[in-house]
């Protein structure tokens, strides 16, 4: 009896400690806190864009443009005709690829094979990002992430995501962020995404099932993998890539491939 009285409290303490440890490693999918920087998230492997990584803008349905925009990196449209690519040679610091001779002259390069491969790689990257699973994902309430500081990891929403105020992504130079958005992605005017701690835009992936819209004079960081269209409103800028399975709309924008 004496031994039982001693052992029982010890077992109870061990059980309680185990429960606390388990609770620490679990993150509620309905977490709505304003800052996630200190949460323990499972590290993510990067999304391999393969040849799509060579493009600042890649679109299947065309690129409309209100000049003057400034694009750093290659631009391409496929399978749609080059006539649907409305950037001028002076607006692109990089190669403009088209599937036919209808693209902007004299700078356009006709290379349907390269474009077909890049589009296939873009679609595969979208599928890869959308298919990531992680028991520590965050589902921040109602998809409003304004004002938050977000640590590296996998974030998933079953709704759209809005960015009404500034957001910071904080992590090291090799850290990876993957944002899975089932609805639309909407960034308000003059709002900025800021990187800290050495974080790099090339390691940030926004997989968006609905339309992505960047408000006037806003600044975005990361690669947008859009299943539908990507719309940059007047004066918006991005350090990243616009990879759209439909159309890209530009209005005096700056796009820099990381």
Domain with 73, as residue range(s), is 50-256
Q: What mean pLDDT do residues 2-24 have?
A: 42
Collect all residues with Cβ–Cβ distance below 8 Å to 152 and sequence separation of at least 6. 41, 43, 44, 169, 171, 172, 175, 176, 177, 199
The reply to whether 17 falls in a domain is no
DSSP-H helix ranges across 35-95: none
pLDDT at 140 over 90: no
58 occurs within a structural domain: yes
Position 30 in a domain? no
In this structure, is residue 29 part of a structural domain? no
Looking at residue 39, its pLDDT comes to: 52
Contact criterion met (CB below 8 Å) for 204 and 240: yes
Identify whether 233 is part of a domain.
yes
Distances (CA, A) of 174 to 87, 160, 199: 33, 27, 7
41: in domain: no
**145-195 per-position pLDDT tens digit:** 999 999 999 999 999 999 999 999 999 999 999 999 999 999 999 999 999
Cα-based distances in Å from 94 to 56, 237, 255, 256: 9, 17, 12, 11
- Cα–Cα distance between 196 and 149 in angstroms, integer? 10
Is residue 35 in a domain?
no
Domain count, the chain: 1
Give the confidence band of 212 by pLDDT, cuts at 50, 70, 90. Answer: very high
Within a domain: 229: yes
Q: Report the C-alpha gap between 150 and 170 in whole angstroms.
A: 6
Nearest-angstrom CA–CA distance, 103 and 82: 4
pLDDT value for 43: 85
Average pLDDT over residues 81-105: 97
Read off the pTM.
0.85
């Amino acid at each position: 009896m004496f031994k039982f009285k001693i052992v029982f409290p010890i077992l109870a303490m061990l059980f309680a400690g185990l429960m606390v440890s388990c609770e620490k490693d679990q993150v509620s999918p309905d977490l709505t806190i304003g800052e996630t920087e200190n949460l323990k998230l499972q590290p993510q492997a990067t999304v391999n864009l393969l040849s799509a990584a060579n493009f600042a803008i890649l679109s299947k349905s065309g690129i409309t443009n209100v000049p003057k925009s400034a694009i750093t990196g290659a631009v391409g449209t496929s399978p749609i005709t080059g006539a649907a690519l409305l950037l001028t040679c002076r607006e692109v610091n990089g190669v403009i690829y088209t599937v036919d001779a209808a693209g902007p002259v004299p700078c356009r390069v006709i290379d349907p094979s390269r474009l077909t491969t890049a589009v296939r790689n873009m679609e595969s990257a979208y599928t890869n990002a959308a298919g990531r699973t992680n028991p520590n994902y965050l589902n921040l309430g109602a998809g409003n992430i304004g004002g938050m500081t977000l640590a590296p990891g996998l974030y998933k929403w079953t709704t759209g995501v809005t960015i009404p105020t500034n957001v910071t992504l904080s992590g090291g130079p090799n850290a990876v962020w993957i944002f899975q958005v089932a609805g639309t992605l909407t960034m308000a005017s003059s709002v900025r995404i800021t990187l800290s701690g050495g974080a790099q835009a090339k390691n940030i992936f926004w997989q968006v099932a609905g339309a992505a819209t960047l408000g006037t004079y806003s600044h975005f960081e990361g690669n947008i993998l859009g299943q539908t269209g990507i719309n940059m409103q007047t004066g918006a800028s991005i350090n990243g890539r616009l990879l759209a399975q439909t159309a890209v709309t530009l209005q005096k924008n700056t796009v820099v491939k990381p």
